[in-house]
A and B are shown apart, each in its own frame.
Chain A
Amino acid sequence: MDFSDSPEEATFRAKARDWLNANATLRDGSEKAQDHFMARDADEVARARDWQARKAKAGWAGLTWPRAFGGRDATPIEQVIWNQEEGRYAVPPNVFLIGIGLVGPTVMIHGTQSQKTAVLPRALTGEDIWCQLFSEPAAGSDLAGIRTRARRDGDDWVISGQKVWTSGAHYSSHGILLARTDPQVPKHKGMTMFLVDMSDPAIETRPIRQISGGASFNEVFIDDLRVPDSARLGGESEGWKVALTTLMNERFSISVGRASGGARAEELIALAARVERNGRPAIQDGEVRARIADFVARQRGLEFTSYRVMTSLSRGDAPGEEGSIGKLLLGKLRQEMGAFGLELAGTAAGVSAVADDDAARWRNEYLTAPGNRIAGGSDEIQRTIIGERILGLPPEMRVDKTVPFSEL
């Protein structure tokens, strides 16, 4: 057990730091708040593309990708080191997470040679931005219930349906789309995966405004989108298998991404030193100290849990269900911390009308956090995964696994 860098890791960190020093500016706290993965406007997208191109040119993009596909063959721990170092600099949001973290690895496993050639280099350099067209109005947690239909028409497929909660679809150039191709078989067996061009006029993207006020996800309407059979990723009716590869890589990407996303518990200590409660600095209040100490312990625990996951990945184990623990605990922690920050910063004025930066910051944190508990597998789904796959408890009663989808 060793928490410090090995000599190889220290060398990697030094190289990363050298390059970042020469190419980016350290954060100094004056930066505008931004999301880690979502761009808020065209300017952020353009800056993100530019940053990604420079990283790719210098060999810092797609770190964990094999060298054969333009990556660096880096270990998961090296990816964490890069993320730690890059996180110290004022860099644009990583809008390429889905392309590089999810779509790339899926194409490497299930794609044809020409798909690999078409997709991988452009994802790496940031020329293409990818989104994940999975969830639908009637298929969220129960993803295999999707209704978007793809029908054979000669050598082509014609796709119609609706997707929803698609992060970044409004600025993505491409999408990985799960569609139903055979409703006459049970739900998991009749799906096929496609790679689609988001600029096709048959696709209409409408941003959805979230409770935080921002609009980073979308509903996507697909109306007779015609794609060639060469756009099919993996075998016909093998879409579920392909989707599981994508979802496994999503877990991995979340694990190596910022373990704690959102505010640091330490920021609450700084806030509590600035504001008053009962006529004295809030940091001297027993209840305030107790709450913050609890947040610190939970946040550290999540961070170290992600390092444990990295260690087992670096030993060659597949990304496992341990990722579910971090996923389960992170959202609720963010929500509680956001609420407490808002309470600390928020006099009545802070809650009803933003009076200062602190109140604005924690209001936004609180209103963003619920998304963490829902996206990428809700808390409830994570508990079921832990209960069944880790603890080995009996599975849920299912009435839909053996019946043809058309009869559900």
Chain B
Amino acid sequence: MNFGFSEEQDTIRETLARMLGDHATLEVAHTRLDSGEGFDTATWSALAEGGWLGLAMSEAHGGSGMGAVELAILAEEVGRCMAAVPCLPVLCMAVPALQSAGTEDQRRSLLPGIAEGRTIIAMALAEGGGLAPDTVSAKVAQGRLSGQKSPVTFGAEATHALVAATDEEDTPRLYLADLTASGVTTSALDPIDRTRPTAEIVFDNAPVELLPGSDPAAIYRLLSGAAVLAAFEQIGLAGRALALTTAYAGERHAFGRPIGGFQAVKHRLADMFAKIELARSNAFFGAWALASGDSRLPEAAAVARLSALDAVQFVTEESIQLHGGIGFTWAADPHLFLRRGWQLKAELGPAVLWRERLIDNLADAPWAAS
């Protein structure tokens, strides 16, 4: 048993942190929030140049053949620097979907472009407020897709989308759509985090291509993996929010001393830290289950998701509180984290969805029958 990172993995983290720190600063995040130009293409290009976008792809497709744990490290560092890049949809969902359910032709035509940063594949799973494959109403008949998908993160910036839709036998599958094709209408939405652009996509008889290995079980596995990796992005951002709040509490003086010396503040910060570390422990187990193909992945993903959601909401809300009046202003940093936290919640569904999955999984266990 070894519940830590290897030296190589620590090196990957340091290299990434340095590189991302040079490009994706909080000043950049503020600028994008103000301008509404969400996608930080400069940081995405830098990740491509560093070979990071191909991290978990096989070498035959232009990647470096690493695994889920390294991808988790990337997700955490992206979260920590609040980079406005589509790490979750493209690297944590579309790439694994192509690898596990796509054809070799699909992989050969798309993965190299992703690694180079040219191809952006959005995930069009959600519709009507639901994410579960069994609630999908978009339909494909004779290779043509019709339906409405929303919210689709980076939908307007993407070149392609993987769309959940039912086939002619009413089975939910994943389809690859070229978003420049006819019959595709993309319109930008106004998300709570404008540094994470979000769109609605309407497909009207649009040409699509099946990912033959996709079925409801495969979609659920994809969601589980995404939940684990998103938890790392959430932990990254929560950790950064805690770090800047802790620094503020050490600098800001009231009643003749730094406010971090008062237990009302110190103990709140301790609670924030404890929630993040609890979430981190669950995310670790999830990353291991994902990387090793362990059968406990569904419940590991659910607990990672639940504790990450809990940590992010608590930490980002209390970060504003502990900053006092300045924390309530547009110009200050805390609301950046609060917004990103809600966006990451929306993208993979709120706690209720994952609680239900967890209890369903556990209640099937033999001991629950007694």
**Residues on A facing B (Cβ under 8 Å):** 1-6, 9, 77, 80-81, 266, 269-270, 273, 283, 289-290, 292-294, 296-298, 300-305, 307-308, 310-312, 314-315, 322, 325, 328-329, 380, 382-384, 386-388, 390-397
Asked whether, in the complex, the Cβ of A384 is within 8 Å of the Cβ of B1, the reply is: no
B358 lies within 8 A of chain A by Cβ: yes
Per-residue A-contact encoding for B248-288, CB less than 8 Å = 1, 0 else: 01100000011011010111011101100111011011011
Find the B residue at minimum CB distance from A309.
Answer: B3
B356 lies within 8 A of chain A by Cβ: yes
In the A-B complex, the 8 residue pairs with the closest CB atoms: A293-B355, A304-B281, A394-B261, A301-B278, A387-B266, A386-B270, A393-B260, A383-B270
Q: What distance in Å separates the Cβ of B246 from its nearest Cβ neighbour in chain A?
A: 5
Q: What distance in Å separates the Cβ of B265 from its nearest Cβ neighbour in chain A?
A: 8
Partner among A6, A273, A296, A297 whose Cβ is within 8 Å of the Cβ of B369: A273
A81–B277 Cα distance when bound, in Å, is: 23
Per-residue A-contact encoding for B297-321, CB less than 8 Å = 1, 0 else: 0010011001100100000000000
Q: What distance in Å separates the Cβ of B44 from its nearest Cβ neighbour in chain A?
A: 27
Find the A residue at minimum CB distance from B300.
Answer: A300
Residues of A within 8 A of B370 (CB): 270
B window 1-22: CB within 8 A of A:
1-6, 9
Which among A1, A283, A292, A325 has the greatest number of chain B C-beta atoms within 10 A? A1
* Surface stretch bound by A, among B112-120, B188-196, B323-331, B360-368: B360-368
Asked whether, in the complex, the Cβ of B1 is within 8 Å of the Cβ of A311, the reply is: yes
Residues of B within 8 A of A269 (CB): 359, 362-363, 368
B222 lies within 8 A of chain A by Cβ: no
Asked whether, in the complex, the Cβ of B278 is within 8 Å of the Cβ of A298, the reply is: yes
Residues of B within 8 A of A315 (CB): 4
Q: What distance in Å separates the Cβ of A274 from its nearest Cβ neighbour in chain B?
A: 9
Asked whether, in the complex, the Cβ of A328 is within 8 Å of the Cβ of B367, the reply is: no
B29 lies within 8 A of chain A by Cβ: no
Asked whether, in the complex, the Cβ of B368 is within 8 Å of the Cβ of A393, the reply is: no
Asked whether, in the complex, the Cβ of B284 is within 8 Å of the Cβ of A325, the reply is: no
Asked whether, in the complex, the Cβ of A310 is within 8 Å of the Cβ of B3, the reply is: yes
**Residues on B facing A (Cβ under 8 Å):** 1-6, 9, 69, 246, 249-250, 257-258, 260-261, 263, 265-267, 269-271, 273-274, 277-279, 281-282, 284-285, 287-289, 291-292, 294, 299, 302-303, 306-307, 310, 351-352, 354-356, 358-359, 362-363, 365, 367-370
Q: What distance in Å separates the Cβ of A2 from its nearest Cβ neighbour in chain B?
A: 5
Q: What distance in Å separates the Cβ of B69 from its nearest Cβ neighbour in chain A?
A: 5
Asked whether, in the complex, the Cβ of B266 is within 8 Å of the Cβ of A297, the reply is: no
In the complex where A4-B1, A6-B1, A305-B278 touch, is A395 in contact with B358 (Cβ < 8 A)? no
A320–B21 Cα distance when bound, in Å, is: 29
A6–B1 Cα distance when bound, in Å, is: 6
Residues of A within 8 A of B285 (CB): 3, 300, 304
Residues of B within 8 A of A384 (CB): 263, 266-267, 270
Residues of B within 8 A of A300 (CB): 281-282, 285, 303
Residues of B within 8 A of A397 (CB): 257, 261
A290–B269 Cα distance when bound, in Å, is: 26
A310–B274 Cα distance when bound, in Å, is: 17
User: What are 30 A-B pairs with beta-carbon distances under 8 A?
Assistant: A1-B6, A1-B69, A1-B288, A2-B1, A81-B1, A269-B368, A270-B370, A273-B363, A289-B355, A293-B356, A294-B355, A296-B303, A296-B362, A297-B310, A300-B282, A301-B278, A302-B281, A308-B4, A308-B281, A310-B3, A311-B4, A380-B267, A383-B267, A384-B263, A393-B246, A393-B250, A393-B260, A394-B260, A394-B261, A397-B261
Given contacts A2-B2, A384-B270, 7 further A-B contacts (CB under 8 A): A1-B4, A5-B1, A270-B370, A386-B273, A387-B269, A388-B266, A393-B250
